[in-house]
Structure 1
Amino acid sequence: MPRRTATMLASTLMLIALLCAGVFIKVPYSEMSPGPTVNTLAEHNGEPVLQISGRKTYPTSGHLNMTTVRVTSADYNMNLVEAIYGWLAHDSKVVPHDTLYPDGKTEEQSSQENAEEFSQSQESAKVAALKELHVPVTSWVIVSTVLKGSPAEGKLHAGDVIKAVDGTAVKAPGDVSKLVTKHKPGQDVVFTIVPAKEQAAAVKAHKTATTTQNVTITTTKSQDGGQERAIVGIAAGTDHTFPFTIDIKLADVGGPSAGLMFALGIVDKLTPDDLTGGKFVAGTGTIDDNGRVGPIGGVEMKIAGARSKGAQYFLTPKDNCAAAAKDTPEGLTLVKVNTIEDALHALKDIRTGTTADLPKCTTKG
């Protein structure tokens, strides 16, 4: 056999061996890629994404698309060949497995957490939108979660309304921890609450719950590695009632990153102005009750997915701008936003064609 032929054969066999080995070698990585993008102003799976009743709504046009990222599951074992392909691919990103599933989090745990974040983002989107429109929203502080095995387990329950701690009125979730940590571990703290069932019944009857009860809990020492402090083992949150019904119908989506686009969609449907002017606008970003927009993960995947569907403009959280601007798809303008008001001002410029004034993302932010 000629030397050249033998060399080529040996190289081919070596390549085949390496490829075969790569298929069987598992690596601790996961993959992110562009996920579905949904127009919040339109229908999805046969029904409107935003359903508003009890309040006049107005026609809308164009797109206000929320965007998503598709990720490999927690129990997916990526092989070396897949990892190399993902690293080289333009429209995907390979990241350490622990980045997406820290502390050995299972698929079920991750899905539950994403569902809770998605639900909370919907509530915050409603509140932010209505505040922007100066529509009154009634809010109160609740027990969001109770840690298993904590002093509060069996005494406080998710949904309980926290009226006061040690007789001091509670006005915001942060007040609860401040009042609890005034104690030393082992001391008693008194919560004045409206039980969740009574609150739910009052809300359903469009009344205000007036019956309260005091619950005494003995604090314990924090075990999170930070500064030692007294805790009872709960997380406080906020619940709301709205003067009319706003339902967000979108299944199989998780996480908090659609908050901004939901809020803008609600504003668009409740105002006579057509926010987009028929343009295709997509975006992402968390939102809090006061309309502040926060950063999200996987922005590179989201802008790629949005552009592939035809988006012309992408509303980008300020803190994601630098990463997004490093590889902006051709034909897509990245617009920097920090609040819902920023987004509304940007939409006005877009629909009126004064896009030279848009605050655009750069690699510096």
Structure 2
Amino acid sequence: MEKFLKITLIFILALVCLLPGQGRAVSSLSDFSFQIQPQTSSSLATWTISFGLPQDSLIGHILISLAGYSPDLSQARLTVSGLPQGVAIIGKSNPNCVSNCDDIRYYWPEPVSVSKREKIAITLANVKNSDVAGQTGINFISLFSSKYPQTDLAFNASDYLIQLSPPEKYEELMPETLTNEGQNPIQEVLINELFYQQDSKTTKLNEIRDASRVENFTLDLLGKVKVVFKEPIDLSGEEAVHFIANLADYMTFNYLYFWVDYQLMNFFKAPLELTFYDLPYVWEPDILKDDLFILEKIENLNLAIVDDQPRLSFIIREGGFYRIVPNLKLYIPENQERVKFENRTKMI
């Protein structure tokens, strides 16, 4: 009986896979186009996204995920052609998101029928381009067959990034050796935009002039950890650029917790000053290394109150895990009186 049920289940699954269904993924979107005008950092711009469907379809939800240096969408206005009237959501739709959070969503209470002959155009006006003269644009576009983004209907996974140029006045002030033709590779690297929050001290990669000697290179993730390289480092080589471009593979920034790969430390050979933000302790905590032992000798340990919040800083010279833990010490008086109560010994 059990063998019969298994065979029946396999047969049913095979039939389901062969049947056409709206929940199955189909080919990429057709005639895709993405434009930004003007393509200048810090300017108000119009973003235009257009595409067609690979086949006649029922659509319930369109998700456009952004990538690169994020624009300011707070004043953006969205218009759509080639689709019935729907509901638009612009900006950070997931409150729990911490990385690449900005997106554009357009959905309907019930799926709508769209012909493959329709040219769909989504226009965002009054977009403020990023202040950073770097790449910005689209991470991916997904279409779903229901109101909720659960099953892909059509999917286009390619990146569509456009390089924003600096304002003209800024370019005129730059020496010829520092224009786009002479840029160092490190200037093209994009790291998580959370490192560039307001008041962050993170070094702006696109403003590095001499990549062979970068002093006080800083990665500052507010509310978690700030890292400062205490000796000049060379970011001009291919391997150095790789470490920074793939930062998440070599460093972890968390609240009261930091990890740095030994490979990165051995390559740059520079001590790191770590600053942990918003400590929940009012006294000096301990530093747990690799979740194994408490550090006894700590270089330049400093506990300070900044804006009414405790901060702890110290210097490390090797890779590994560094966790901030409470300093718990038990002091027992020399003279103790033992009181027996219900056959138990209680210390007072």
Q: TM-score higher than 0.5 here?
A: no
- Please give the TM-score of this superposition, normalised by the length of structure 2: 0.27
More helix by share: 1
- Please give the TM-score of this superposition, normalised by the length of structure 1: 0.26
More strand by share: 2
Larger radius of gyration: 2
